[in-house]
A and B are shown apart, each in its own frame.
Chain A
Amino acid sequence: MQTEQVIQVKQLAKKFGNFEAVKDVSFTVNKGDVFGFLGPNGAGKSTTIRCLLSLITPNAGSIELFGKSLAQDRSAILKNVGSIIEKPDFYKYLSAQKNLEIFARISGADVSAKEIAEMLDFVGLGNRAKHKVKGFSHGMKQRLGIAQTLLHKPELIILDEPTTGLDPQGIIEIRNLILRLKNEQNKTILLSSHQLSEIELIANRMVIINQGRSIVEGEVGNLLQSEETVVSIEVDDITKAMNSLSQHFAAASIQQITNKQLEIEVRKQDIPALSKCLVEAGVGIEALEPKRKLEDYFIKTIQS
């Protein structure tokens, strides 16, 4: 069975004056994917996403959504797309419900008042429906943004940095919401982020872009499994720990950071063995944290 492609971007390029924000980005999102769109700040993620939503007109390349050219079938395509770009902004002087009514009217679908109420309940804002948005916290606006995104039941949902500025609780809520959308409603989701851990937790496929170019694209599991991770360990006896690790992980790079903390670079699947080795050596582990930054991952990816 052939996989249905929801987004197909080919050799996308966009210039703002002399600045090339996007030089050459290509990727494909399949139906049902939670697709991670990764890149450091300034990599061209937002520009690419804005191109997908026709907010920005690209200088070169092609964008197809649902097998149709965005340039030619914009309206028909966007009826099936819901999006939050960066932070969701609403008409502050209107209530949550009125804001949703406004966006529902131009979403291309008939959305009833009942559906709006249900959607507000779905994102946990049922009791704030009549409240003006200007009194909402960032997290509440984000949830209202999700409601706005889902209102017209789109097949494709594009979320650009949906967890930016949220507290840990908010991040978890949004993450769970995305997983529910995938699992319960089988939506295709394009999720842009600069946090690898975020993508790792919920995406099945991803693309990494840097300096306006797509570097790597594939299954998240496959891409990350083979990768080495910097693990930061806090121990009670740094000398014993260094000795023990040097013996068991001779090939690994080990670095003492303080008299209680060290960092070692190992593959992800070796982390259990790492803690086992320290415990067996009688070293008390006070903290163990795999530190994997997307930037590090990039460098590795590019070098390899």
Chain B
Amino acid sequence: MLLKNTYNEFIKIVSKPRSYLGFGALTLLISIIIFAMKADGESIVSFVTASFEQTLSFNGKLVNGNLIAFIILQMLVVHIPLLVALVTGDLISGEAAMGTIRMLASKPISRTQIVLSKFIAGAIYTLLITIWLGVLSLLVSHWVFGSGDLIVLNSDGLVILPEADILWRFGLGFCVAYLALMTVATLSICLSAFAENSIGPIVATMAIIIVFTIIGTLDVTVFDTIKPYLFTTHMASWRSFFEDPIPYDDIIQSIIVLIVHIVVLIAITLYKFNKKDITS
């Protein structure tokens, strides 16, 4: 029954026009970024290297597919959660708003299975969005700009990674980015279990991300104790794969925090949805 309903959920997702909004928006955003970088990529890079260029010269192809892919990921990290929440935030509440939740919950499928199948379908959708992001950012920017070493600006300096040493970092980076997006998806599904309209959970998810991100960015001592536990702190963890040496301890900690978030949010969703009286 779980698999059958997961299939159902996936059909619902692919049949909804809004599911393609994410893919469309990603395609558009990435095209714009690639166009901008093609037009003025050199000056954007020189902004980064300017302070070093008095004494050093950077030789080689600085603006290349790897750098563009990295910049795309960096820029879109704020927007992709919205695109994911747009679909996943609607998974339960959308049924309530449409009235189909009555039909669904009066079938011989348990509510736990309903939630889990929605979660799995949401996970597949998020995966497709992540893959689409990867394909577009990596393949298209490589196609347009060619390959090359990657110059990354971290808080403690520049790291230049050799071309041959990059693809696996992107691969693992995408895996961690996916986990971060899954946390967003699970959060929105969880909020969706509490709401009876589509827009509420989507807006609430974004509001939580924004508030947590602001708390994470503020250099205020009172927030220092909670910062490591905010999932938003770990959403940019994919970036750590582009440091040298790679801070594996930090990454593992981020993965643990994100997984704990996912598990707790699923547990809350299951509890809430199982206890919920469907009166809509």
Contacts and interface: CB of A to CB of B under 8 A. Distances in A.
Touching chains A and B, CB distance < 8 Å:
yes
Contacts of B11: 94, 98, 102
A91 B15 contact: yes
Interface in B36-82: none
The interface residues of chain A, by DSSP majority, are classed as loop
A57 interface: yes
Contact of B277 (A16, A89, A91, A107): A16
Contacts of A102: 8, 11-12
Contact of B102 (A81, A89, A92, A108): A89
Interface string A91-117: 111100010001101111000000000
A56 B278 contact: yes
A83 B4 CA distance: 20
Interface centre among B1, B104, B106 (most CB of A within 10 A): B106
A57 B277 contact: yes
A98 B12 CA distance: 10
A74 B16 contact: no
Contact of A88 (B1, B103, B108): B103
A75 B102 CA distance: 15
A224 B12 CA distance: 47
Nearest to B4: A105
A103 B107 contact: yes
Contact of B108 (A86, A92, A94, A107): A107
- Determine the interface band of chain A, counting residues with CB < 8 A from chain B: 20 to 34
Nearest to A21: B279
A76 B1 CA distance: 13
A156 to B, nearest CB: 12
B35 to A, nearest CB: 33
Contacts of B103: 85, 88-90, 103, 148
Given A102-B12, A105-B5, A91 B108 contact: no
Interface string B105-119: 111111000000000
Nearest to B107: A106
B105 A55 contact: yes
Given A55-B277, A89-B100, A78 B4 contact: no
B245 interface: no
Given A93-B16, A102-B12, A53 B106 contact: yes
Given A50-B279, A93-B15, A106-B8, A81 B106 contact: yes
B16 A75 contact: no
Nearest to B275: A57
B24 interface: no
19 contacts: A16-B277, A16-B279, A50-B279, A55-B278, A56-B277, A57-B277, A74-B108, A75-B110, A78-B107, A83-B106, A86-B102, A89-B100, A92-B98, A93-B17, A103-B103, A105-B4, A105-B7, A106-B107, A108-B1
